[in-house]
Structure 1
Amino acid sequence: MSTGADTRTAFAAAPAVNGTASSAVPLVPTNTVTTASGLTVRTRIDPVLTVDDVVKQLCINLKIKEPPSNFALRDETDELVTNDNLRRKIKTKVNLKLVNAPSREARETAEKLRLKDDATTLKLTLFTLQKYIREEEFAQEFINRAGLSELIQVIFTAHGNTLAYALTAMQNLMELDYGWATLDDAFIFQVVQILSSPQSLINVCRPATAILKKLVEADPSSAPGIQPGSSRGPIIPPPGSVYRYGFSVVFEQMRKGRGFLETVISRLGSADTAMTQYSMMLINSLLSHASDNRWEEFISELERLNVRKAVVRLMSSHTIEDLTSSILDFQANIIRVTYRKKTTLVDELEPSHSAALGVIWGGSKLTESVDESGSVMKWRLLGFDSENLEFEFNDAGVLGLECLKKLVESDPDFSKIILEQRSRPPTRRCPVAKASNEVVEMLSEHWAIFAPGYSTSTTFQPFFLDFYRVHSLAIHFFMRMWGESGAASGDFTRVAALVRSQAKVALRSENVRPWHEVEHEFKECEYRSVRERQMKELELEDDLLSKIPVRNLRAKLYKESFEFVRQQRIQCLIQGAWFMNALPPNSVTPRRPNRPWRFMRLDPGLKFLHYVDSTLKFAVRSGLEDLPERIEVAAISEIATGTCAAPAHVLRDQSDLPPTSPLIPSPLSFSLLSAHEGSLADQIAPDPSRWADWTDGLNMLRRDGGHVSSKETAGFVQALTEIGLKIKLLDLSGEMVEIPSGLVAGPPPSNTDFFFSELM
């Protein structure tokens, strides 16, 4: 470093970088610039200049003979100085460095990777590469110089920290939407193998997991400009597009990696919170993007590995604060899976369905018989009304089939239960199979499994993730109520109503209640107390709302209401709002920020959050001209709530802030977290409505999101649903139209000698 005298001498000819001759009056230094040789100069920089002009003036004043295009400015954290942030860095008197331009740095980096001189040099080169490769100018030149192929070679051969740096560099490159379309199956399989190894280091597994997640999400339908469902045929990506991968491409390589999914799920129990979060995000992406032709195979494998149990354990983990959003995403994905199973018809010719039916029939230990008319009796012996299984499972679908199969497998006394029912008079037998499907229906209604991809649960639902176990408890309760009430064949609806009432009580507040209380509610509650409570409920309940057509209408309106609220929340983000800059989590020193206020606005393309920090609130113009800084929405992996506190002095000086105490997290705070950069923003909303708008809006905006985190948003969805339902029913109730509880299809036509008349 040069001395102050040296710098003044070196810069005496032009103490100001402003494009004009220096004044005789000494200028007050505002910025310090350090060259690669260690020379330090202090200069006043005109904020109206571009970065290129500033660099050019510095090269002239420092008598640097190389072209100015070879140089650039960075701050002390190595952030590149651009025209967008130059003014801010001048105002805050940031210390600057005159360094190689990104394109020059990229050329040298690619050459160093090609030479691979020694392990230490390679490691240092990769360490620098992982920082710079996010910059577009650097990345373009690095790719043009065949740097990507050299980086891939390192990933195939390196180990330890060297491999971790190489994978992180690849992860950061893949944040760009170009330049990595040449990644092939061999590379994907290499990343799968790295993740499949239990011996791989945590700092290696984190970027490897993020790379696979990015590849899963880079399917042709996700390309910019492609609207979901806009094309009925396969979408062909244009040449050079990175949107050419997707679930199917990655899953093919996953199948080759021995124990891949098992290892990823096991890492949900990692002591490293970031590793757990990366693993959750990969699983969520796989669930969200699973292709139709591989969906059943993938979901079956996840169920076999008991991923739900692993997530339930996370719900009570000490690391839960950082994983809330990912767990709610997982719940929403499992609701999507459950809905798809429920709406998939049972087909006896489908191998997996046939196998499940075989397990059920074998577990019953029954033998076929013949009824009075000479028809074969098989499934009616289990409690179905007919032998037509597609009809019997019409409402419960494959979900009902799987629940009945799990019941048979988990209860060694299932055959005894069936035998005991068969020993009763026909009118007194509990139709176990029919009851099983009815329980599936009521549990689906309880957990609002109305439509795929929509979830208004703001809390954890561990009992929902244990759907099959709850189903088993409820069906045993159904049979017990049948026996204790002395029910006959005409009492099925009455007993089902008892079970529905008990399920609401047993499954209440599931985010805070232990499992043994649920078991107690189903196993120990007596018929008399259930009946008395149900009678009180009936006095308050409208019978019309419990009819199946009305429940189906509510499901349709629920989906429409959710989408309406989602669009409203996103519009709030586009409109923008003022927030307070808060102390980040684990902050030790409660100090007032230089600029305590931040205005944020989402761009119309829904890709960036633009913002400006200020000492005072001011009228922000429409558009993005007043908002020089930005955060990429794709970089936000988690919206953590209740994480940060207001600085003490700001809290005392401002009257329009939410009440809180220094260093105590505000309930209206939220942090935008990145999986590999930590917190991108720490804000406190001015009121609960603004907090709900932004936390839920950002969650709904994320491609792997879909859940809500505030009770306000969930309440809006429910209120709109109920209002819409009542308006629809007014048309019917006003005309005194009778709504049936269900429609029974008649027998199929005996021949094809008919046609459908056009109604005028």
Structure 2
Amino acid sequence: MSTTASSSTAVRSPTGTSNGNGTQSKSALVPTNNVTTGDGLTVRTRIDPTLTVDDVMKQLCLNLKIKESPSNFALRDDLDELVTNDNLRKKIRNKVNLKLVNAPAREARETADKLRNRGTRDIRLTLFSLQKFIREEAFAREFLDHNGLNELVDVISSTSGNTLAYALTAMQNLMELDYGWATLSDDFILTVVKILSSSQSLINVCRPATAILKKLVEADPSVPGPQAAGSSRTPSTQPGSIYRYGFQVVFEQMRKESGFLETVVNRLGSADTAMAQHSMMLINSLLAHALDDDRWEEFISELERLNVRRAVVRLMSLHTIEDLTSCILDFQANIVRLTYRKKTSYVDPEFVESHAAAFDAIWKCSKLEPDINEDGEEFKWRKLGFETEDVIQEFNHVGVLGLECLRKFVESEPDFSKIILEQLSRPEERRCPIARASNEVVELLSEHWAIFGSEYSTSTTFQPFFLDFQKVHSLATRFFIRMWSESGAANGDFTRVAALVHSQVKVALRRENVRPWHEVEHDFLECEYRAVRDRQMKELELEDDLLSKVPVRNLRAKLYKESFEFVRQQRIQCLLQGAWFVNAIPASSPRETARRPSRPWRFMRLDSGQKYLHYVDSAVKFPVRAGLEDLPDRIDISLISEIATGTCAPPPNVLREQSDIPPSSTLMPSPLSFSLLSAHEGSLADLIAPDQSRWADWTDGLNMLRRDGGHVSSKETAGFVQTLTEIGLKIKLLDLSGEMVEIPSGLVAGPPPTNNDYFFSDLM
């Protein structure tokens, strides 16, 4: 390496010499970088790209006659990015302007000291720098070793305004590391909760505070890191592990601020899109982790009281910015999981107070009195349409979801008592079993919306009607009762009427993302029996009645989960293999400022640990070897908060092969484009896939890697899951139909044993 001050004309090289007439030898062809020192001196430097950064610093300090140890110094570019062995060649090749600065370790020690003595220092400037440098491992480790974390916590607890915003952002960036913040106390968590609870907090304060709480929720000891296909992670209990928080720890502090959750939900309507996005991401994390916690019902009850679903539906209708799409679809996926959890949670009025209260409310709305039959047995719940007086058994298949839906129906129907009396006035065999019909509607809606308990949702569009499940249930239950009356049904016709309702559900809820609610109401309330029956008869000609039986429904649900897991593993395997993409331009960029990238192609591959996306940018495609040797740069998966689609356009004048995306004369978003967005760094990558298949592989595969991801983006993936499910179902049914096995509509369990003096026989 050779250096010279800007006023000097003599240039020396470690391998080349002057030829006597002022011209340089071949070594002079090495690119020249400008290096600015701390005292403002600019030197022109030729750096040998084969050297390490340590060797570069030694030679630079030697040439500049700096007496201090070279280990005290480092190089950064104009954007304060640290020069490392990984990016040194790139900086040299691009002739980037560099700055001679303190080494990260030295900077960290000085920063910790400034925080400790902040009464006499410019704390705001220190924190502004800290939020950038804390992401560097060398800086972070030294900062933590010098008690920097505790000093930062003290600052957060004692400042406000922009100073607090910088401190919170620094903490947020520190928490991107998987070490160093395991000592954060409950008091600190409560401090952050109080900051968010205040309606006076600035937006630039709320954003990092929300991200911090989200990170704490996801630091769950039972889920240490992203769960990928083939992962064998186990709960982390090691001393110093950051995975020691989770939903329960954060929820305990949330309960101390009564207005906290309400404030977060209200911010979903914020005019600041980033604030709405952060709030939605926090709610999603709380939802996802609450469902695995014993106190999930308490949290969900509070969330439902605040009408969070209505707030999200409003976002759907007002939604114009793509940044929120992924968050809304994640919320839908979490509500799918919540609905399944309720459906599979047993009803027990003897031990669960809320269940007993629901039954009391239902009976009160009926305005009936229980009867005693000839055998002295109470005749109560059968009046409402249950088959027995054992209400626990009656809700065996629909669980708490069925109980909540029935309660909502009877409370929202002002003439419910009249409907019940009208049914009781009929001959017993002609009465519509309203309670049983309610449970059947729950089953039909669960099947329609694929409530099968999968970790992910295959819906690629908004589902506002699903988010109002109980309201749709009430409409469909009224429709069931009307069809029963108009068709003159009797006890043996329950399955036939249920089939009519099933047909109408598919029609009324079609194209859910674009249909207005009043059309759904019309389909359920105004459609005539004869029209429904005629349509259903045509459908029966194309369908097999076998598919509507309960055991077959359950089999489909099991196969659906297996199919989804299979497709999920396939998608992640595609990421491990890697693929070429076009480096794109955000569609929001003015066309006149759009320039062709110097390296328009990018190859990306997921590492075996599934923590980083390694990549290389290139002017042309080339054969990439297995492994990561050809991929010098990387993106941390944990930084990706959203995979936005349809966001960027091909760069102008980029030549493509015939199989790739055709050139475009305008900066129009490509349907095969996607962006990897970070909550606080903007876009980490803007890419265009070469075809629909790889676009689906990567957008859905990356969503499945995200810790808070819960949905798929492509209809292709959703279609694969559905197709595999149907093929598997038909193969299973062929085994039975080929043997002429009769599949019952349901199985009735016998009475339980009266004592424990029994055993199961071995059937040969």
* TM-score, normalisation: structure 2: 0.95
Q: CA deviation at 1:620?
A: 0.5
Residue of structure 2 in register with 1:717 after alignment: 721
CA contact (8 A) 2:456 2:712 kept: no
Q: CA deviation at 1:657?
A: 2.5
Distance 1:660 1:519, change over 3 A: farther
Does the residue aligned with 2:153 lie in a helix, a strand or coil? helix
Q: Determine which of 45, 55, 58 is the counterpart of 1:56.
A: 58
Q: CA deviation at 1:370?
A: 1.6
1:504 paired to 2:506: yes
CA contact (8 A) 2:340 2:452 kept: yes
For 1:59, the aligned partner's letter is C
Does the residue aligned with 1:323 lie in a helix, a strand or coil? helix
Residue of structure 1 in register with 2:81 after alignment: 79
Query: Whole-Å Cα distance in 1 between the matches of residues 272 and 637 of structure 2?
Result: 24
Query: Whole-Å Cα distance in 2 between the matches of residues 512 and 473 of structure 1?
Result: 19
1:320-719 pair list within 5 angstroms: 320-349=321-350, 350-588=352-590, 589-650=593-654, 654-659=657-662, 661=664, 662-719=666-723
Distance 1:660 1:388, change over 3 A: farther
Greater displacement, 413-422 / 45-54: 413-422
1:197 paired to 2:194: no
Query: Whole-Å Cα distance in 1 between the matches of residues 745 and 208 of structure 2?
Result: 54
1:140 paired to 2:144: no
Residue of structure 1 in register with 2:40 after alignment: 38
For 2:609, the aligned partner's letter is G
Query: Whole-Å Cα distance in 2 between the matches of residues 256 and 64 of structure 1?
Result: 56
For 1:7, the aligned partner's letter is S
Instruction: Give unmatched runs, 5+ long, in structure 2.
Output: none
Residue of structure 2 in register with 1:181 after alignment: 182
Query: Whole-Å Cα distance in 2 between the matches of residues 238 and 78 of structure 1?
Result: 35
CA contact (8 A) 1:73 1:97 kept: yes
For 1:297, the aligned partner's letter is E
CA contact (8 A) 2:460 2:712 kept: yes
Does the residue aligned with 2:717 lie in a helix, a strand or coil? helix
Residue of structure 2 in register with 1:297 after alignment: 298
Query: Whole-Å Cα distance in 1 between the matches of residues 293 and 63 of structure 2?
Result: 65
What CA deviation, in whole Å up to 9, does each residue of 1:644-685 have, x standing for no partner?
Answer: 0001201x5554422362300000000000010000000000
For 1:739, the aligned partner's letter is I
For 2:733, the aligned partner's letter is L
What CA deviation, in whole Å up to 9, does each residue of 1:589-634 have, x standing for no partner?
Answer: 2211000000000001000000000000001111011101100001
Q: CA deviation at 1:372?
A: 3.7
Does the residue aligned with 1:639 lie in a helix, a strand or coil? strand
For 2:509, the aligned partner's letter is L
What CA deviation, in whole Å up to 9, does each residue of 1:234-257 have, x standing for no partner?
Answer: 956211111111111100000001
Does the residue aligned with 2:422 lie in a helix, a strand or coil? helix
Residue of structure 2 in register with 1:747 after alignment: 751
Query: Whole-Å Cα distance in 1 between the matches of residues 185 and 320 of structure 2?
Result: 36
Q: CA deviation at 1:23?
A: 4.0
Query: Whole-Å Cα distance in 1 between the matches of residues 230 and 157 of structure 2?
Result: 38
Query: Whole-Å Cα distance in 2 between the matches of residues 5 and 718 of structure 1?
Result: 67
Query: Whole-Å Cα distance in 1 between the matches of residues 170 and 610 of structure 2?
Result: 26
Query: Whole-Å Cα distance in 2 between the matches of residues 439 and 75 of structure 1?
Result: 63
Query: Whole-Å Cα distance in 1 between the matches of residues 379 and 229 of structure 2?
Result: 47
Residue of structure 2 in register with 1:243 after alignment: 243
What CA deviation, in whole Å up to 9, does each residue of 1:395-430 have, x standing for no partner?
Answer: 111100000111122222222221222222222211
CA contact (8 A) 2:74 2:101 kept: yes
Query: Whole-Å Cα distance in 2 between the matches of residues 390 and 313 of structure 1?
Result: 37
CA contact (8 A) 1:196 1:260 kept: yes
Distance 1:319 1:123, change over 3 A: farther
Query: Whole-Å Cα distance in 1 between the matches of residues 492 and 338 of structure 2?
Result: 34
Greater displacement, 594-603 / 448-457: 448-457
Query: Whole-Å Cα distance in 2 between the matches of residues 317 and 485 of structure 1?
Result: 42
CA contact (8 A) 1:189 1:253 kept: yes
Query: Whole-Å Cα distance in 1 between the matches of residues 230 and 688 of structure 2?
Result: 37
CA contact (8 A) 1:216 1:285 kept: yes
Residue of structure 1 in register with 2:213 after alignment: 212
Query: Whole-Å Cα distance in 2 between the matches of residues 351 and 318 of structure 1?
Result: 39
Query: Whole-Å Cα distance in 1 between the matches of residues 225 and 682 of structure 2?
Result: 27
Residue of structure 2 in register with 1:150 after alignment: 151
For 1:701, the aligned partner's letter is L
Q: CA deviation at 1:227?
A: 9.4
Distance 1:226 1:595, change over 3 A: closer
Q: CA deviation at 1:739?
A: 1.1
Does the residue aligned with 1:222 lie in a helix, a strand or coil? coil
Instruction: State the percentage of identical aligned residues.
Output: 75
Query: Whole-Å Cα distance in 1 between the matches of residues 103 and 303 of structure 2?
Result: 48
Greater displacement, 370-379 / 333-342: 370-379
Query: Whole-Å Cα distance in 1 between the matches of residues 502 and 4 of structure 2?
Result: 85
Does the residue aligned with 1:571 lie in a helix, a strand or coil? helix
Distance 1:587 1:230, change over 3 A: closer
1:221-232 pair list within 5 angstroms: 221-223=222-224
Query: Whole-Å Cα distance in 1 between the matches of residues 684 and 230 of structure 2?
Result: 33
CA contact (8 A) 1:582 1:682 kept: yes
Does the residue aligned with 1:491 lie in a helix, a strand or coil? helix
Instruction: Give unmatched runs, 5+ long, in structure 1.
Output: none
Query: Whole-Å Cα distance in 1 between the matches of residues 235 and 658 of structure 2?
Result: 54
Does the residue aligned with 2:604 lie in a helix, a strand or coil? strand
Does the residue aligned with 2:100 lie in a helix, a strand or coil? strand
Q: CA deviation at 1:231?
A: 11
Query: Whole-Å Cα distance in 1 between the matches of residues 421 and 232 of structure 2?
Result: 53
Q: CA deviation at 1:746?
A: 2.4
What CA deviation, in whole Å up to 9, does each residue of 1:93-123 have, x standing for no partner?
Answer: 111111110011111111111111458x111
Residue of structure 2 in register with 1:7 after alignment: 6
Query: Whole-Å Cα distance in 2 between the matches of residues 226 and 476 of structure 1?
Result: 43
Does the residue aligned with 1:293 lie in a helix, a strand or coil? coil
CA contact (8 A) 1:273 1:319 kept: no
Query: Whole-Å Cα distance in 2 between the matches of residues 182 and 336 of structure 1?
Result: 32
CA contact (8 A) 2:224 2:236 kept: no
Greater displacement, 520-529 / 659-668: 659-668
What CA deviation, in whole Å up to 9, does each residue of 1:248-303 have, x standing for no partner?
Answer: 11000000012111111111111111111111111111111114321110111111
* TM-score, normalisation: structure 1: 0.96
The total of aligned residue pairs comes to 750
